[in-house]
Structure 1
């Protein structure tokens, strides 16, 4: 090893969950070290457009309540949410938002001075607060990054965590990382928080940035933790369609555009969501994405249109990010409909953890999109994700502090830190395979074929570069996702099996849980995590 560093808590990730945790841990007197693959603002948080879903006690729609927000979340989650987790996280939302505002985050205000609110798919009320019209994530990231710098919290930029290290008894003792020049080093810590974001780069078309390569899921699996609900990948219904865009991240057209009155129409001008759901264009995302794909197939087109012309000239002020992306593509959304399609957007599953971020491995915590707390179930309710990052990030930091004080976490000498060798798959092949066989519509034959393709293409290589480490994470997580999707022989939420179109509550009202055995093979935990609506 060519370098080393130490802390009480190593936070892997620089998004809302990671930086919130780092700030709270510093307040609690912990020595904190944040690690990011790129700069401080890289990650999914900065791209979040819609806002933060929260019922604030002093400002909310008549008749809206925490109870209604909970019920909307449970409905969207299609029977796989943990009611207890939903209640705890959402109940802590208003206080979390106030702390975020105290850290310098600015939100849009209405004419009367109250925070402006919009409505998104699946919500029964206007409860989504926003910033910069459609730049909420960017403002949250700015405020948290500034607070982190001002607080003097050290940040290792352009450092890639390759493996978690263990001490005596199997507890986490730190992490092995590569610096910006690819030199290996050790981060010593009795606690590691994974806040690495999502897995959108498993697919050829995604709203996620380049850093979203499923690192946290793979690190947790290899460390002995369990993962759940990986089959539930939410495809955002509306990303800007460009026929020559190729793969990679595509500009998001926030759901709030439909919240302000835009409607989906097909290439023949017919309403897409009419008769599909009682909420029509504001139906949950899985419903809208599936309807878009069906209508596109029926018409032989690769896209549908989002007609926002009724919003008028105020479009650019309300949605400046979307407006700029449209104009860059040669589209004037004030005068013409926007061509849109669906793309991989959010992972509803992840590392099994509590609402305090604890996992099954001592010293390992998870928060944000990488975690599976039971909040999202089979389909995330729009704009619940930033809220979860704020709440669980803070709670995870508090849990680490408590666990350190109680003696549950102690500094251990890490075992030998050796750069591991893992199976990797060519990224382009993996993305094409996952998009073809593990997108919105899936079946047993295609899922088995995808697993076989990736298995045949896998080559074991030492993870001496960030690219190799990412490709290894993607290869393992893709196989885990395919295994979970094969196991769940029903359609529920954003998991749609064309060979099993019905929902089977008798057999499948439970989370699909996977882990690695001692030989490194993925195995299913019988019984999973049973979910109830009680």
Structure 2
């Protein structure tokens, strides 16, 4: 089969991939591969907004300090400074692309405040900010003659010299990415895409857990692919559980109740109506996510109930409807009026603060491969991400990667000596039940043993069980024709392993990683690199 060749190959169509595509298209041909519909990404479901210093009463120093406090000692200071100081220029670009943010008047934006922020600095569009950014970027992408997008193409594996018969392991210094193999889910064939530069912008991994706010596509594909190709990943133990997903067991994925509701005055209450966050943190319901999620988890364990309440009933109905129309409609659909009723909420897996290790220019440990957005680990988030810093990180790094790629593109060439994907020794086995069962089992054991509170015993048990699941699934994979579900299962098990392994290596409690065996912070600040 003929190989497709393109200057820039982008895996993923969220804010990271689309932002980079619009810039790279000035330099050469861009191809975006996305596994589902073009707008199906974590970006689309981001409600809160983008954090940036745009008001005179705010300052870069305050945003930097808030980010570092949330990150609990593991933020990389230079990275934090870069992102915060480059934010205003990147926000202006989003606005120039046609993104709408809510304003109080012609001159001033309606800036929201969220947990962990000392100032109102969140630019938002009602409670569907991510959806609005995705809309504006897609409009620009479709209008650009140098950008092509292929939907329903599932990236299976990075192509490196391993596929040319060269031995590659973790110690190999010059691992090089030549492109990817992708499963065309409409023709069920594996296609080969060769590129000079590849950007992994594949998003998060929420579906490693049973309950998550992420769309079903968030199965950690990019992180797993890079690790399989012997690339480095960092700080995978830091999985952020959003404190407030709507408690409605029928919903999967879980519906997010934005942090902005607490920023707007929402108060967390026990089932008897008593506020409890003041007992855990002086910032009360506006503490950072790791603290709030742990507090809710503790309250639920004490009471035996599956949720606590979030109360915003003291705000005017008109204000609630203006700021949270989407959340209001969702609550109404299950018989709750958030202007009169308390909202039942429970934590759900939300964001991977770790990911593919990248430097300040977005370069991975594999040559000609960059990573951007949630799948990457830049050092910005440390041990816990500050609310609304993720969309910001994606646009800042998309620009940094573009600048670095622009300097090297002219010196790069395609490698034509790449073999086709070989499916000659596999059969079509109608055993979807094995895939479904193993996925559910992985998600259940991760939720039960590797959630908000961990222990050595739980982690050890999770690792042993994952070993069986990995062996069983790999055996099935080697003998079976590929399907999206099978590939996603492999990736979920791989990412689950990385989370557990990283958690086992961290002998302390810090940020999002809390273990009953090591409840204190260590004196040494170290990243976990696998």
State the match for 1:511 in structure 2: 527
Q: Please, which of 272, 292, 298 is the counterpart of residue 268 of structure 1?
A: 272
Separation of aligned partners in 2, 1:410 and 1:142: 34
Separation of aligned partners in 1, 2:498 and 2:417: 28
Tell me, yes or no, if the aligned pair for 2:127 and 2:324 is still in contact at 8 Å: yes
Alignment of 1:330-479 (within 5 A): 330-405=335-410, 407=411, 409-418=412-421, 426-458=438-470, 459=472, 460=474, 461-462=477-478, 464-479=482-497
Secondary structure at 1:257's aligned position in 2? helix
State the match for 2:32 in structure 1: 34
Q: Please, which of 145, 148, 154 is the counterpart of residue 148 of structure 2?
A: 154
Per the TM alignment, residue 419 of structure 1 is displaced from its structure 2 partner at its CA by: 5.2
State the match for 1:521 in structure 2: none
State the match for 1:80 in structure 2: 74
Query: Relative to structure 2, which stretch is displaced further, 74-83 or 463-472?
Result: 463-472
Secondary structure at 1:274's aligned position in 2? helix
Q: Please, which of 505, 512, 522 is the counterpart of residue 494 of structure 1?
A: 512
Separation of aligned partners in 2, 1:279 and 1:170: 47
Separation of aligned partners in 1, 2:175 and 2:303: 56
The CA RMSD measured in Å over matched residues stands at 1.7
Q: Greater strand percent: which structure?
A: 1
Secondary structure at 1:78's aligned position in 2? coil
Separation of aligned partners in 1, 2:303 and 2:81: 42
Separation of aligned partners in 2, 1:374 and 1:338: 34
Separation of aligned partners in 1, 2:523 and 2:217: 36
Tell me, yes or no, if the aligned pair for 2:270 and 2:299 is still in contact at 8 Å: yes
Tell me, yes or no, if the aligned pair for 1:166 and 1:415 is still in contact at 8 Å: no
CA offsets, 1:441-486, max 9 Å, x none?
A: 1111111111111211232214611111111111111111100011
CA offsets, 1:34-57, max 9 Å, x none?
A: 00001110110010011100002x
Q: List structure 1 runs of 4+ shifted beyond 6 angstroms.
A: 420-425
State the match for 1:526 in structure 2: none
CA offsets, 1:74-120, max 9 Å, x none?
A: 11000111000111111111000101111110110014641110100
CA offsets, 1:180-226, max 9 Å, x none?
A: 22211100102110000100000000010011000010111122210
Per the TM alignment, residue 391 of structure 1 is displaced from its structure 2 partner at its CA by: 0.8
Separation of aligned partners in 1, 2:364 and 2:469: 32
Secondary structure at 1:311's aligned position in 2? coil
Find out whether 1:222 has 2:228 as its counterpart: yes
Tell me, yes or no, if the aligned pair for 2:48 and 2:122 is still in contact at 8 Å: yes
Long gaps (5+) in structure 1: 515-534
Secondary structure at 2:3's aligned position in 1? strand
Secondary structure at 1:190's aligned position in 2? strand
State the match for 1:128 in structure 2: 122
Tell me, yes or no, if the aligned pair for 1:230 and 1:348 is still in contact at 8 Å: yes
Tell me, yes or no, if the aligned pair for 2:469 and 2:493 is still in contact at 8 Å: no
Secondary structure at 1:440's aligned position in 2? coil
Separation of aligned partners in 2, 1:417 and 1:124: 54
CA offsets, 1:279-324, max 9 Å, x none?
A: 1111000000000011111111110000010122121221011111
Long gaps (5+) in structure 2: 165-173, 427-433
Tell me, yes or no, if the aligned pair for 1:202 and 1:474 is still in contact at 8 Å: yes
State the match for 2:168 in structure 1: none
Separation of aligned partners in 2, 1:457 and 1:243: 26
Q: Please, which of 276, 283, 288 is the counterpart of residue 279 of structure 1?
A: 283
Tell me, yes or no, if the aligned pair for 1:306 and 1:339 is still in contact at 8 Å: yes
Tell me, yes or no, if the aligned pair for 2:5 and 2:414 is still in contact at 8 Å: no
Separation of aligned partners in 1, 2:312 and 2:494: 41
Q: TM-score, normalised by structure 1?
A: 0.91
State the match for 2:14 in structure 1: 15
Per the TM alignment, residue 276 of structure 1 is displaced from its structure 2 partner at its CA by: 1.4
Q: TM-score, normalised by structure 2?
A: 0.92
Alignment length (residue pairs):
501
CA offsets, 1:123-144, max 9 Å, x none?
A: 010001101x111000000001
Separation of aligned partners in 1, 2:157 and 2:465: 26
State the match for 2:429 in structure 1: none
State the match for 2:97 in structure 1: 103
